[in-house]
């Protein structure tokens, strides 16, 4: 959840925002000295006003000032920083662009915030392999920019793609509007160079589609900075499709809009994107960017199909027919790229736009099975009415990923609290509907207590086994993802000496 007023997410103060002060101890002071010697004085910040810049990510109602900030400019800086932290037993938190919406990059007060945004090199695109290798601070959109001359693109397109980093995308397994057809970050990352929490460098995956051994790359993606720091990523690029067609459809009822989505899927059509906005979200977008959405619409869908031209044309006609049968009162088809951009502008600016119609709001991120959409929306409305609050809905309707925006006014005593409660209740509604507490923004600091609603203690303990394998001392982004930290204990079962099969020259045996 983020509290936003106006058009930016950071820097807003709301009720309940208390900034935890950095903890300066002899330990961190000594570490800062060592870091300065290792990575250079100018890259190590401890000055209070300087480090305060990094006190939160896109979730501005959680703030912690870090003891030390390191601005890494090379992999070696990352290795040195992590190794020195490990030696000192001081926690570190990786940070990309700081646009995360779950407090994933929230610093540790007694730790190091490791900023990766200066690691911004992209290797040349390998067009024949449809791959590119980038440093973690590279901005999402730059990848597609570099790929475009080769008719290639990087599929994951979070709404924040102008500013968020690939490293942050990998850590959050970021999604985007086109997930429905193309999948998430995890489906588009082939390899990662990772600095483990003890400073060791490992390569997971690579340029080939498969490698012998456990899929630790798959496990690393989406681990929210708790398993190590990515210093290089190899990304899969997709061929830009021959044709793209986008339509904007207006409805007088949410049920009809949701029904259209179900009917499209039932017809065997897999659109590139199906996005939905409700009346309040439309009102906000209109006020902010004048996107010209159908007047009086209670819900709109933005539907995009892509692929071979004949296929897109035939299915597009079919989708129009489906929408009409579901009482669409207006259907607009983007005639060119400019019109398509305008249709998307309303959708992509929706979070910030809500700032136009409400002093503050929480952005929520939950998932439900697509078929439960109408009943969940009805229940959400009932819950909001009960509290006398308004909820604007923007969502990736194709895959059931909801972004309810809970509107409130700080100036009204107690309303922020009520809104926060409602945002939490909505998540529980998602879980009881068979869904998830997060579809793309991650658990971070914000939702870690909610993990227990979705998972049993055994599930969480099992996940922590992986954590303990990567980070037995728990110094990588501690206090995130899990409701309770786990002490890993000794590394179990370490064999001394050589195993017979190993001795026979056949390899390391599991």
Partner 1 sequence: MTAVTAARRPGDAGDAVGGVVPREVVRPGTVEEVAEVLRAAAAEGRAVVPVGGRSKLTWAAPPESCDLLVDLTGLDRVVEHVAGDLTVVAEAGVRLADLQAQVGEAGQLLGLDPPEDGATLGGIVSANASGPRRLRYGTTRDLLIGITVVLADGTVAHAGGKVVKNVAGYDLGKLFTGAHGTLGVVASTTWRLHPVPPARRVVTLEVPDAAAAGPLSIALARSTLTPSAVELVGSAGGAARLIVLFESIAESVAGQARAAVALLGGGEESEDLPGDLGRRPGGADDVLLRLAYAPASLSAVLAALPAGTAVAAHAATGVSYAAVPAAEAADALPRLRAALAPHDGTAVVLRAPEAVRDSLDHWGPVGDSLDLMRRVKERFDPERRMSPGRFVGGV
Residue from 369, 374, 367, 347 nearest 259 by CA: 374
Residue from 7, 200, 111 nearest 478 by CA: 111
Residue from 165, 179, 188, 9 nearest 94 by CA: 165
What's the closest the beta carbon of residue 377 comes to ligand FAD, in angstroms?
20
**Whose CB is nearest to ligand FAD?**
168
What's the closest the beta carbon of residue 112 comes to ligand FAD, in angstroms?
12
Q: Is 114 exposed, middle or buried (0-12, 13-18, 19+ CB in 10 A)?
A: buried
The reply to whether 59 sits near ligand FAD by the rule CB under 6 A is: no
Contacts of 112 (CB under 8 A, 6+ apart): 31, 35, 66, 67, 68, 69, 70, 81, 85, 90, 91, 92, 93
Stretch that binds ligand FAD, among 83-91, 168-176, 428-436, 445-453 (CB under 6 A): 168-176
State the binding string over 481-510 for partner 1 (x if CB under 8 A, else -): x---------xxxx------xx--xxxxxx
**Contact partner at residue 101 from ligand FAD, partner 1, none, CB < 5 to 8 Å by partner kind:** ligand FAD
**172 vs 304, which CB is nearer to ligand FAD?**
172
User: What single DSSP character describes residue 112?
Assistant: E
**134 vs 323, which CB is nearer to ligand FAD?**
134
Within 415-434, the residues that bind partner 1 by CB under 8 A are: 434
How many Cα atoms sit within 13 Å of 172 on the Cβ side? 34
**164 vs 312, which CB is nearer to ligand FAD?**
164
What's the closest the beta carbon of residue 199 comes to partner 1, in angstroms?
13
Within 402-421, the residues that bind ligand FAD by CB under 6 A are: none
Using CA atoms, how far apart are residues 326 and 261, in angstroms rounded to an integer? 10
**Contact partner at residue 230 from partner 1, ligand FAD, none, CB < 5 to 8 Å by partner kind:** ligand FAD
Bridge-based pairing of strands 243-251 and 273-278 is unpaired
State the binding string over 429-448 for ligand FAD (x if CB under 6 A, else -): -----------xx-------
The reply to whether 159 sits near partner 1 by the rule CB under 8 A is: no
* Total binding residues toward partner 1, as defined by CB under 8 A: 105
**Contact partner at residue 229 from partner 1, ligand FAD, none, CB < 5 to 8 Å by partner kind:** ligand FAD
CA diameter of the chain: 76
Quote the Cα angle for 216-218-221, to 5°: 105
The reply to whether 110 sits near partner 1 by the rule CB under 8 A is: no
Question: Residue 372 CB: number of other CB atoms within 10 A?
Answer: 17
SS3 call for 243: strand
Using CA atoms, how far apart are residues 384 and 387, in angstroms rounded to an integer? 5
The reply to whether 133 sits near ligand FAD by the rule CB under 6 A is: no
Cβ–Cβ under 8 Å, residues 106 and 62: yes
The reply to whether 346 sits near ligand FAD by the rule CB under 6 A is: no
Within 350-369, the residues that bind ligand FAD by CB under 6 A are: 351
Question: Residue 50 CB: number of other CB atoms within 10 A?
Answer: 10
Bridge-based pairing of strands 92-95 and 112-115 is parallel
The reply to whether 321 sits near partner 1 by the rule CB under 8 A is: no
SS3 call for 480: coil
Among 107, 167, 355, 366, binds ligand FAD (CB under 6 A): 167
The reply to whether 241 sits near partner 1 by the rule CB under 8 A is: yes
Within 327-366, the residues that bind partner 1 by CB under 8 A are: none
Residue from 391, 389, 387 nearest 376 by CA: 391
Using CA atoms, how far apart are residues 249 and 326, in angstroms rounded to an integer? 11
The reply to whether 17 sits near partner 1 by the rule CB under 8 A is: no
What's the closest the beta carbon of residue 57 comes to partner 1, in angstroms?
16
Within 67-106, the residues that bind ligand FAD by CB under 6 A are: 93-101, 104-105
**Contact partner at residue 239 from ligand FAD, partner 1, none, CB < 5 to 8 Å by partner kind:** partner 1
The reply to whether 76 sits near partner 1 by the rule CB under 8 A is: no
Using CA atoms, how far apart are residues 78 and 94, in angstroms rounded to an integer? 10
The reply to whether 266 sits near partner 1 by the rule CB under 8 A is: yes
Bridge-based pairing of strands 273-278 and 229-236 is unpaired
What's the closest the beta carbon of residue 153 comes to partner 1, in angstroms?
12
**Contact partner at residue 22 from ligand FAD, partner 1, none, CB < 5 to 8 Å by partner kind:** none
Stretch that binds partner 1, among 2-10, 88-96, 154-162, 235-243 (CB under 8 A): 235-243
Point out which residues bind ligand FAD (CB under 6 A).
9, 57-58, 93-101, 104-105, 116, 136, 158-160, 164-165, 167-169, 171-172, 174-176, 224-225, 229-230, 351, 440-441, 477
């Amino acid at each position: 959840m983020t509290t936003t007023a106006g058009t930016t997410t950071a820097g807003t103060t709301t009720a309940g925002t208390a900034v935890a002060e950095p903890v300066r101890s002899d330990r961190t002071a000594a570490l800062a000295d060592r870091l300065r010697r290792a990575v250079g004085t100018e890259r190590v910040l401890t000055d209070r006003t300087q480090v305060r810049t990094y006190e939160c990510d896109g979730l501005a109602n959680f703030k912690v000032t870090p003891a030390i900030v390191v601005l890494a400019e090379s992999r070696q800086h990352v290795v040195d920083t992590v190794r020195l932290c490990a030696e000192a037993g001081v926690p570190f938190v990786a940070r990309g662009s700081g646009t995360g919406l779950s407090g994933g990059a929230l610093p540790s007060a007694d730790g190091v915030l490791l900023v990766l945004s200066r690691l911004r090199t992209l290797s040349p695109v390998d067009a024949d392999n449809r791959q590119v290798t980038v440093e973690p601070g590279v901005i999402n959109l730059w990848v597609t920019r570099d790929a475009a001359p080769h008719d290639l693109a990087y599929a994951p397109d979070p709404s924040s793609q102008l500013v968020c980093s690939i490293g942050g995308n990998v850590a959050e397994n970021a999604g985007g509007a086109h997930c429905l057809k193309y999948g998430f970050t995890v489906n588009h990352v082939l390899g990662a160079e990772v600095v483990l929490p003890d400073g060791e460098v490992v390569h997971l995956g690579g340029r080939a589609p498969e490698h012998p051994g456990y899929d630790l790359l798959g496990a690393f993606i989406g681990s929210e900075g708790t398993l190590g720091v990515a210093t290089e990523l190899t990304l899969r690029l997709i061929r830009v499709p021959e044709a793209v067609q986008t339509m904007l459809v207006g409805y007088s009822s949410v049920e009809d809009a949701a029904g259209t989505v179900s009917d499209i899927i039932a017809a065997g059509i897999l659109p590139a994107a199906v996005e939905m906005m409700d009346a309040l979200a439309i009102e906000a977008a209109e006020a902010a960017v004048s996107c010209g959405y159908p007047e009086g619409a209670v819900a709109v869908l933005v539907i995009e199909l892509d692929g071979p031209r004949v296929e897109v044309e035939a299915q597009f006609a079919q989708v129009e027919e489906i929408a009409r049968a579901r009482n669409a009162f207006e259907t607009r088809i983007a005639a060119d790229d400019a019109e398509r951009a305008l249709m998307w502008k309303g959708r992509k600016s929706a979070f910030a736009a809500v700032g136009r119609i409400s002093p503050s709001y929480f952005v929520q991120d939950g998932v439900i099975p697509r078929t439960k959409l109408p009943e969940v929306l009805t229940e959400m409305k009932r819950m909001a009415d009960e509290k006398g609050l308004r909820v604007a809905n923007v969502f990736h309707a194709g895959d059931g990923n909801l972004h309810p925006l809970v509107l409130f006014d700080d100036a009204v005593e107690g309303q922020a609290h009520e809104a926060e409660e409602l945002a939490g209740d909505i998540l529980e509604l998602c879980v009881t509907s068979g869904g998830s507490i997060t579809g793309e923004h991650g658990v971070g600091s914000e939702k870690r207590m909610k993990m227990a609603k979705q998972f049993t203690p055994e599930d969480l303990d099992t996940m922590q086994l992986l954590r303990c394998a990567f980070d037995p001392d728990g110094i990588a982004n501690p206090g995130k993802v899990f409701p309770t930290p786990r002490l890993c204990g000794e590394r179990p079962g370490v064999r001394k000496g050589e195993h017979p099969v190993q001795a026979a020259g056949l390899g390391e045996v599991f």
